[in-house]
Every structure is written in structure tokens, then in C-alpha cells.
Amino acid sequence: MVIVDITSWDELQRRLCAFDRLATHERGAWLFRGHASEWWSLSSTLDRMQTFTSSGSRRQAARDLLERFTQQAALARGRRFVGLMDHQVRQVQMIARHHGLPCTVLDLSRNQRIALFFALARPERAEDFGHACLIAINRVYASRHDGLRFFPDRAQPSSEHFLRVQRQEATLVEIGGYGQSLETMVPEALVKYRLSPMILDEAITVLRDSYDLSLSYLMGDLATAAAEAERHYKEQMP
């Protein structure tokens, strides 16, 4: 992985604009993620919750969480729970992650400025976070790895997730291997821009004027279902 230190606002602007000037096919090869801490890994929320010893145990954990989420969501909305079908897994996972359920996918954005917003706008920054960073992922190189699958984040126009998905210009990557992250799987596809603390205030002021994005999970009965599914799963963990 290439690491680039950004020490001024002007330099950051130049780096961001360099992606804008790429030809359309080259620009489409890049996806972005923002982290409030340089120490955070590019791993799924499921793998951050638990360390797995096999792909089978990881698949089962993801399935158990989704089953419980679907059951709780059905009960909350007065519907009969008939089980989670295999063809529904990805669709349910795309919904559940908006409400905080740990899953096997990682959110990315096609817009470098939106990813940067997520790196800088979090109120819980701490001294031991190190530098905030913007990570650029070359999808062409990363897609060559058998354990990664990229697909667009979609939502029905009538759904509560639609505006969030549209605003974030989201693409998802499903991480197939247990105990894996993008850093370990495709380091050659990554560029990490580490941001000097001196430029953070100016950067977030500009970005807040440009983007209206929710950083929190959606609330309501589905959030309650996600929290209950995670609580139940953790109670069953050895």
C-alpha cells in the first residue's frame, strides 16, 4: 500500500482534483473510503466484531445475524416470519447494515470528497486515533482477487434508505475470506492519504457546506431489530 502524507489544504485540493481530471474510464476505476483513524483496518463490521477461525463459521455467523434481524423486523411490523431464503441474503444484508447490523460488506464511495467527509466529520475523534485518512481503492486491481466482490448499493425509491444511498454514491465490496482485510488481500490496489491535523478544521468546514450526509445509523424498528440480533448473537458466542 502506498502512503502519502498531506500537509496542507492546497495539497489536499490538488490530490482531490487530480481524480476529477481523469478520463471517464480511469475515474471509474477508483473507489474511496474515509477513516477517522489511520489505525482502522479495511475490514467488514462482522470481522471487527469477532475473530473467526474458518470461512464456515464466519458464513454461519453472518447468516445467524441476518436470520435474527429478519425475524425481529417481521415481529416489529406485525408480519409472519417464514425464514430467510438464500436469494434474499444480499438484499437483507444491504438493508440491515444501514441499521447497524454487523455484516460482511464494506461501504465505499465513488466520490472522494464524500469519503473525506466521513473521515473528518466524526465527533468521536481521539488523540490515539493518529491521522485521519482518505483511502483510494483501485477497483480494477482489487477485482482480480477471488475473495472480493463489488456491487452498487441500491435501494427502492420508496424506501427509507434511498436518499442516504443516493447521497453517499455508495458501492459495496463483499469480503469473502475470514480474518481478511483489503490491506492483506490487495495492498497493491490501495493508496492511503494521511491528513495533517493542521488542515482538518478547514477541510471539514468546506465539506460541511457541500454535503448533507447522515453519519449515524438509521433509527426505528429496524435499528431495534439489528441491535436485538447482535445482542442475541453475542450472548451465544463462546
Beta strand 190-195 pairing with 170-175: unpaired
DSSP bridge pairs for 215: none
Q: In whole angstroms, what is the distance from residue 181 CA to residue 201 CA?
A: 30
pLDDT at 173 over 90: yes
pLDDT value, residue 220:
76
pLDDT value, residue 79:
77
Q: In whole angstroms, what is the distance from residue 205 CA to residue 200 CA?
A: 9
Q: In whole angstroms, what is the distance from residue 143 CA to residue 150 CA?
A: 7
Task: Return the ∠ at Cα 66 (arms to 156 and 31), rounded to 5°.
Answer: 55
pLDDT band at 186 (very low <50, low <70, confident <90, very high): very high
Tell me: the pLDDT tens digits for 17-28? 999 999 988 999
pLDDT value, residue 108:
94
pLDDT band at 118 (very low <50, low <70, confident <90, very high): confident
pLDDT value, residue 17:
94
Tell me: the pLDDT tens digits for 34-80? 998 889 999 999 999 999 989 999 999 999 999 998 888 888 777 77
Tell me: the pLDDT tens digits for 201-221? 777 777 766 665 555 555 677
pLDDT band at 156 (very low <50, low <70, confident <90, very high): low
Q: What is the DSSP-derived secondary structure letter of residue 97?
A: G
Tell me: the pLDDT tens digits for 68-93? 988 888 887 777 766 677 777 778 88
Higher per-residue confidence, 148 vs 164: 148
- Give this prediction's pTM: 0.84
